Amino acid sequence: MNDRSTTGRPWLAVALSVAVSGLGHLYLRRWLRAVAWLGITAGATLVVPQAALDAAAAGEAFDVVALAPIFFVGALCALDAYLIAQYQQFRSRAEPTAGGELTHCPNCGGELEADLGFCHWCTTEFDEFRVARPAEGER
C-alpha cells in the first residue's frame, strides 16, 4: 500500500519527547527542530533555582512550582512532536501510491471506498486517480 517509512507513530514521538526533549523530533527526522527544543529546554533549566534541580536529581522533596518551566517546555515539546507525527501520517495516507491509486482522501483524510469515484466523507471527486481496493484481510 503506502510507504510509511517516512512517517512516525504519534504515541512513540510523544513518549520519546517526554523521556528527553527533542528525542521525539529526532525520531521524526526533524533535526533542527530537535536541536531547538533541546536548547529551549536548556534555557528553561537556567531559570530554575539550582536547589530545586539538586533536590529533584537526588530524589528528595522539591518544589514543583520551581520546576514548572521545565515541565511546561517538556509538555510543549511533546505536543509539538505529536502534531508533527499526526500531520506526517495524514500526508502519507493522502498521497497516491506508485500505481496512481488512493487509499485515503487527499482533501479530508477519510478512508475511501473502492466502488466510488469520490470521497463519501467530503464529496471530493477523483478524476485522475483510482481508488485502491483493500487487500484481503485488511478490513
Looking at the structure, tell me whether residues 8 and 58 fall in a common domain.
yes
- Cell numbers standing for residue 108: 479530508
Looking at the structure, tell me whether residues 87 and 112 fall in a common domain.
no
- Using the structure block, give the residue that is written with the C-alpha cell 522533596: 61
Looking at the structure, tell me whether residues 33 and 61 fall in a common domain.
yes
Looking at the structure, tell me whether residues 91 and 78 fall in a common domain.
yes
Looking at the structure, tell me whether residues 91 and 54 fall in a common domain.
yes
Looking at the structure, tell me whether residues 72 and 107 fall in a common domain.
no
Looking at the structure, tell me whether residues 57 and 118 fall in a common domain.
no
- Cell numbers standing for residue 112: 475511501
pLDDT of residue 81: 95
Cross-strand partners of 25:
none
Q: Of 63, 80, 95, which residue is a domain's last?
A: 95
pLDDT tens per residue across all 139 residues of the chain: 344 444 568 999 999 999 999 999 999 999 999 999 999 999 999 999 999 999 999 999 999 999 999 999 999 999 999 999 988 877 766 666 666 677 777 766 667 777 777 887 778 787 666 665 555 554 4
Looking at the structure, tell me whether residues 45 and 15 fall in a common domain.
yes
Looking at the structure, tell me whether residues 130 and 63 fall in a common domain.
no
Looking at the structure, tell me whether residues 111 and 86 fall in a common domain.
no
Number of domains in the chain: 2
pLDDT of residue 92: 66
Whole-prediction pTM value? 0.64
Q: How far apart are CA 123 and CA 111, in angstroms?
A: 12
Looking at the structure, tell me whether residues 81 and 25 fall in a common domain.
yes
Looking at the structure, tell me whether residues 90 and 115 fall in a common domain.
no
Number of Cβ within a 10 Å radius of residue 84: 20
Domain that holds residue 72: 1-95
